[in-house]
Structure 1
Amino acid sequence: MKPSEIKNSTFEVLIKVILSQSDLKKRDEVIVKNYSKICLLLKWLCKNVCEMKKRNEGLDDEKKIESNDLLNISLDCILIISSILDKTDYETDQENLNAIDAISRVFEEEIEFLKLLDEDIFVRKESEVQRQLSILVNLTSRSSFVDLIINEIISIPIDEFFFNINEFLESKPYDLLLSYVNNLTHSQRLKFFIAESNFLARIFNIYVDSDNDRLNELLILIVRNCCLDHKLHQILLADEDLLVKLVKPLAGGEQIEEMESLPLDLQYLPLNKEREKNPKIRLYLIESIFQFCATSWGREKIRQSNIYYLLREYHRWETDPNAIKALLNLIDVIIKKEEEINVDNLKDLLVPEDLSKKFNEFFDS
């Protein structure tokens, strides 16, 4: 079917309903209840987008504008359909699950379309990639897509993408790009690459130089996700650099008796040193440190660093209830002796009830 035949197609009604329905809940209900037809529409849209992109290369400017309008309408429709995949609250209803699974399978089969999205986000201007990135963010919210994207779709080498992250953040919608990266960090392969490279150091350099709260939240969230995997902890904490970077934003300029027992870069900070102002970022930093307490090795590493003394001073300063709760949970684990905890990996084994509650809150967040 050609794009020109869209008005005569049975898809016209579905497209109009999807694009015109302002009530998101009702729109989603239409997609779920008609998911068999939606899947056929989705296949048609994906293939047409690929065909239109190819035809655009030989068009003059006037015809290209007309074609781009149709292309954008198609992408808008695909974006709306893909948003169903990012609704975790739908996974308790069998009809919703059937729709999500069916729509997921269609996307997984449309490799050419996925490659087209990927190519666009690296070569097109910021104003032209919002739809493409949004679709990829929705898709990679599901773990089944993450490895597919990493192994088969991404067109540039992984190291090139991450080592040029500054350039991409300047030229692309940073919130969508970082949400996409954040989803991709659920890939085991990617997490090991990040842990063994200096990418997290680059993330912190961007964070330190930025005064954009939303950008910084997304950056530290990526760091936190990389800390979630206890298999990476010995790589991440091979030296004190990452731990220092996590603690430093929480530290003030207080002069404490235990100063010289701290890592060198945390000693004698300026008296006017300010702590991170954003409570959400402070919470992410605490949660990142907390992940290292999953294993006895990590807990000992934390204790040996003596960051407890800075966390103690930070606790006296903190006023946000969520950050205080997280911090007290962290401190409680640090000051406990291993004989009291009596397990190596708290993620794999049964643990004392008080510790289990603390870890469930953090590991599932």
Structure 2
Amino acid sequence: FGKKIEISRVFRKKPKLRSPKGENSITALHQTLLGDNDLYLVTLLSPLADCDDELSDEEIQKLPLRLQYYEGKRENSVEVRQKLIEALYQLCATKHSRERLREKGVYALLRELDKATEDTKSFEPGMIGEGGVKLLTAQQEHTLHALIGILIRYEDEMAIDPSVDSLRSLQ
């Protein structure tokens, strides 16, 4: 953890991810991250969840065990929530991940997050508050709604060939 990663090195490596070999690596990584051990998913979702979320018994049972009957509070930082939503959105690039997120009831938590953040949307379009927080809130809302849209629809409803393993291969 003490070692810093040089950002320019990370960006230089990015084009390799778009190669066919890179696509297989991403798919394998997603399968590892979202395997039977729900630790990664719980790490992403717990800051987005809240003990006051109104989930049905069926929705609760779908969640990873550590999030069922969750007693924590939602992360207050808009920036942190945005990064977590973006990470979940990136996971949706692979079919395995989309299926796993649906299976684990992620939609219900995101729906509740959207409801909870509706109260903070009382700003004029284009209005930027301290530190660009209002702009970030609008960006979070857009990504969150896109993510919800992916999770509530299946591949055939999105005009995606069900045999396509990664949406990145469609680019």
What TM-score, normalized by structure 1, do the two folds share?
A: 0.34
Tell me the residue number matched to 2:16. none
Cα distance between partner residues in 1 of 2:140 and 2:61: 27
Moved over 2 A (4+): 180-188
Q: Which amino acid aligns with 1:333?
A: I
Unaligned 5+ runs, structure 1: 1-164, 169-176, 189-228, 351-365
**Aligned length in residues:** 133
Tell me the residue number matched to 2:42. 244
Q: What pairs up with 1:1-365 in 2 under 5 angstroms?
A: 165=1, 168=2, 180-181=4-5, 183=7, 229-238=26-35, 239-253=37-51, 254-257=53-56, 258-270=59-71, 273-318=72-117, 319=120, 320-341=137-158, 342-343=160-161, 344=164, 345-349=166-170
Cα distance between partner residues in 2 of 1:298 and 1:236: 9
Could you give the per-residue CA deviations for residues 34-55 of structure 1, whole angstroms, max 9, x where no partner exists? xxxxxxxxxxxxxxxxxxxxxx
Closer, same or farther: CA 296–283 of 1 in aligned 2, 3 Å: same
Closer, same or farther: CA 259–281 of 1 in aligned 2, 3 Å: same
The root-mean-square deviation of aligned C-alpha atoms, in Å, is 2.3
Tell me by how many angstroms 1:255 deviates: 4.3
Q: Which amino acid aligns with 1:259?
A: I
Cα distance between partner residues in 2 of 1:261 and 1:247: 13
Pair member with larger Rg = 1
Identity %: 34
Quick check: 2:114–2:144 contact (8 Å CA) kept in 1?
A: yes
More helix by share: 1
Quick check: 2:75–2:81 contact (8 Å CA) kept in 1?
A: yes
Tell me by how many angstroms 1:314 deviates: 0.6
Could you give the per-residue CA deviations for residues 295-354 of structure 1, whole angstroms, max 9, x where no partner exists? 21111111111111111111011232211111000000111112123232211115xxxx
Closer, same or farther: CA 187–233 of 1 in aligned 2, 3 Å: farther
Q: Which amino acid aligns with 2:103?
A: Q
Higher relative CO (CA 8 A, sep ≥ 6), structure 1 or 2? 2
Indicate the SS of the match to 1:275: coil
Could you give the per-residue CA deviations for residues 180-229 of structure 1, whole angstroms, max 9, x where no partner exists? 326365687xxxxxxxxxxxxxxxxxxxxxxxxxxxxxxxxxxxxxxxx4
Tell me by how many angstroms 1:261 deviates: 2.1
Quick check: 2:62–2:103 contact (8 Å CA) kept in 1?
A: no
Tell me by how many angstroms 1:260 deviates: 2.0
